[in-house]
Structure 1
Amino acid sequence: MKKWIIIIVIISASLLTGLSVYAYQTIREPLLHHYDQAENYVVGQSLLQTVMNVTYYHGTDAYYVFNGLDDDGEETLVWVSDDFDFQHVQRASDGITREEAIAIVQRDEEVSRIEATKLGFERGLPVYEITYFTNENRKGYYYVTFEDGTFMKRYLLRTD
């Protein structure tokens, strides 16, 4: 009897694991397809020669944010709207770094831990979105402009 219970548990765990992997891949497939479409658009439009990294930002509107090299070999950032109707191109050296954006948040807020930093686009400007936790365990979103680190907006959420 014990043998059957063990066999049933092993089979059930295997099925559950297999179904979970299948569901995850099915959910991720459209997003990966859109990433490929966006990358083909950026390279096809000669906005970047080489793509090093792509992220997805969903704020007021959705954007693909590319980090790569332009024709001159300069590190360049490209923001492309989700529908490919808009793009903004800017050299990485024309703005502040991630570390500088984090330092601004740590200077202005009571930060216990930085969770994430990503580039986005809000109010017609490239921005850094810094996600952090405060000393009171509240989750915060802090937005500064990419060009000079000017404060744009901040949200604080309770986590309990």
Structure 2
Amino acid sequence: MPFVQTGFAGLLIFEPAVFEDSRGYFFESYNENVFREADIDIRFVQDNQARSSYGVLRGMHYQRPPYAQTKLVRVLEGAIWDVVADLRRSSPTFGQVYGLELSAENKKQLLVPAGFAHGYAVLSPTAEVFYKCDHFYQKASEGGIRYDDPDLQIDWKIDLSRAVISEKDLQLPAFRGLPEEF
């Protein structure tokens, strides 16, 4: 089974079968049948790709209902520390954070259900991140939490004094004051 449980309902690590030989490697980064066999029925409608340099920190972002997004995140080049925070108030893991390294080398992917804030920090000289979404992006539905929220205490695995953070992300609100959206 290519899916690894994380202890957070619906948050899964996808480890595709990788076939290597003298020519290189091959793997299916996404196969709808593999997901359906694991009772994961998602219709992805949008692909996003971002390239960043070491120390870039993006997050923590989410889309509000009714445009809340499930994402399948992977790294095409380099490595990131990928982080999510559970915003689902009815969840036993509400307010908890989960992180793992995603890299071109380990080929792991993170399936992030709607109701999670998501972000990442670039660990390698550059990283190219690719993710599939099951809803189209809607600017009016944007939401987020500060990367350095004291309640979440996220370890980003980089020196935050040297982190490169957008002005928009610096203005995000604290976790504690978020309205009930999920």
TM-score (norm 1): 0.27
More contact order relative to length (CA 8 Å, sep ≥ 6): 2
The TM-score, its normalising length taken from structure 2, stands at 0.25
- Which structure's CA Rg is the greater one? 1
* Higher helix fraction (1 or 2): 1
